[in-house]
Amino acid sequence: MLTSGLQHVAAMYAGVVAPPLIVGAAVGLSGTELTFLTGASLFTAGLATFLQTLGVWKIGARLPFVNGVTFAGVAPMLAIVDTTDDKSDALPVIFGAIIVAGLLGFLAAPWFSRLVRFFPPVVTGTVITLIGVSLLPVAFGWAQGPNPKAEDYGSTTFLSLAAITLVVVLLLRRFTRGFLKQVAVLVGLVIGTLIAIPFGVTDFSPVTEADIVGFPSPFHFGAPQFALAAIISMCVVMLVSMTESTADMLALGEIVDRPADEKTIAAGLRADTLGSAISPLFNGFMCSAFAQNIGLVAMTRIRSRFVVACGGGFLVLMGLSPVAASLISVVPRPVLGGAGVVLFGSVAASGIQTLVKAGLEKDNNVLIVAVSLAVGIIPITAPEFYHAFPETAKIILDSGISTGCVAAVLLNVVFNHLGRGRDDDEVTAPMEPGEDISGSHTAKAAHVH
């Protein structure tokens, strides 16, 4: 349980610490304050994970979910920093907006969860696939190195370390059994880090410079401030986050053979939103379910929520001990990238498995999947596609998971819910040369899903 829980932390650590580092740097925090902000994000991620996995009353999906800082909020938070004259007020304004957005999201969770009936396998399979595909560029970015502006970014050294880590994980999964097979990703990260030492890629300075004990004192950066524009911006982010969390819960429910119903989704969204509302108290940001850990569950088949709760315990301890938090930060980005290929690819594979059960022999479902996947990968294949849209709109449009999910839901309603569609029609196949084209085709009545 301990090692499997630590493996979950290792898989999501970079995603948790990146937003506070980016926002903190934009605000102009010192190195000590950046370490404090990062520790606070780890601490609040642990608390949110406890809420999600263990649950209290009607709060928590009680699924093996890791919660942490959502990347969807980075762009609007940077916009808030840019529009704040006194940078010392930027974090209090951000925290105030997150508190309001979290509380409003908590109240809206029961109504939002009722959308679950619009998520049949054709929709969930498409969204799960998009989650995996959308995360793969993150792994590829890690594999190229820590700094995109550096001359050695994408060097053969970095790519070789990623490839070695990937091969180690694959070999462990193929030729070992039992415990060692289940912690293949963690072992791969350790071996990859050790191999990286002679190349000078591994940096141990975070360990030597970190304090042993440190508590994220409440409102360390000042009392929260409430600005209307910031609140509206973070409420939009909350809607995006709730959409992605719904898709994540549906995905994980399929993987652990416990389909997420309306009650489960409502409880999960309450945990997300309440965790987000509490997070600013300890100087943390908006929390959401981490999709990369779904890949770890899919690959290891360890479905226990208590294992993930153990990972939440590690996150809390790291938040209370900066030196412990810095241990995982020693793992080089290329090593994380090599492991990420397996983790995120596993999510996409799970989506494909769900699509197999979606009835793709029917024209309507093929169209739903085809168009939704195309819409969802626009931000990946054409990042500047929505450059002419307002910044608030781009918060949603730049999330392929959100746009793909909305497209799949709407298309499913149009083709499989409204009127008597043709969803029973078999997929039109190319004709063989010389085949008669005058044959008639009779459409069957569609079933309403």
Token readout for 325 is 């938090």
Helix axes 90-113, 262-278, angle to 10 degrees: 170
The 10s digit of each residue's pLDDT in 168-195 is: 999 998 898 766 776 777 788 889 999 9
pLDDT at 239: 78
Cα 416 to Cα 364: distance, rounded to the nearest angstrom:
8
Q: How far apart are CA 89 and CA 222, in angstroms?
A: 8
Q: State pTM to two decimals.
A: 0.66
In order of 11, 89, 153, 210, 430, the CA distances from 329 in angstroms are 12, 29, 19, 11, 53
How many residues in total does the chain contain?
Answer: 449
Please give the pLDDT value at position 155: 92
- Both tokens of residue 27? 């605000």
Q: Is 350 exposed, middle or buried (0-12, 13-18, 19+ CB in 10 A)?
A: buried
| 46 contacts: CB under 8 Å, gap ≥ 6 | 312, 313, 314, 315, 316, 317, 318, 319
Q: Residue 26 has what pLDDT?
A: 79
Q: Are 81 and 87 in contact (CB under 8 A)?
A: yes
What is the spatial distance between Cα 304 and Cα 423, in angstroms, rounded to a whole number?
38
Say what the pLDDT of residue 329 is.
66
In whole angstroms, what is the distance from residue 65 CA to residue 252 CA?
A: 8
Distance CA 61, CA 308 (A): 13
Residue 34, sorted as left (phi over 0), alpha (psi -120 to 50) or beta, turns out to be: alpha
Backbone phi and psi for residue 400, each to the nearest 5 degrees, phi listed first:
-60, -30
| 279 neighbors 220 (Cβ within 8 angstroms) | no
pLDDT at 85: 76
Query: Please, what's the b/e burial string for 219-238 (b: 16 or more CB within 10 A of its CB; e: otherwise)?
Result: eebeebbebeebbebbbbbb
Rounded distance, CA 164 to CA 119, Å? 39
pLDDT of residue 197: 92
Half-sphere exposure of 441 (CA within 13 A, CB side): 11
pLDDT of residue 430: 42
Residues of the chain with pLDDT under 70: 14-15, 31, 72, 75, 116, 178-179, 182, 292, 325-329, 391-392, 395-396, 419-449
State the pLDDT at residue 448: 40
Calpha distance 252→443 (Å, rounded): 36
Q: 259 vs 51, 119, 122, 248, 271, CA distance in Å?
A: 20, 11, 14, 11, 18
Yes or no: say if 401 and 423 are a contact pair by the CB < 8 Å rule.
Answer: no
* Residue that has been written with the tokens 């209090």 in this structure: 92
Predicted pLDDT of residue 281? 92
DSSP 384: T
Torsion angle in degrees (nearest 10) through CA of 265, 270, 271, 274: 160
Spatial contact of 255 and 297, defined as CB atoms under 8 Å apart = yes
Cα-based distances in Å from 353 to 96, 173, 254, 415: 42, 20, 10, 22
Q: Is the dihedral of CA 310, 247, 301, 137 positive or negative?
A: negative
What letter would DSSP give residue 59?
Answer: B
CA distance 88 to 222: 9
Query: Which is nearest to 358 in space by CA: 120, 173, 137, 161?
Result: 120
pLDDT of residue 157: 92
User: What was the pLDDT predicted at 333?
Assistant: 84
Identify the residue whose tokens are 């489960």: 264
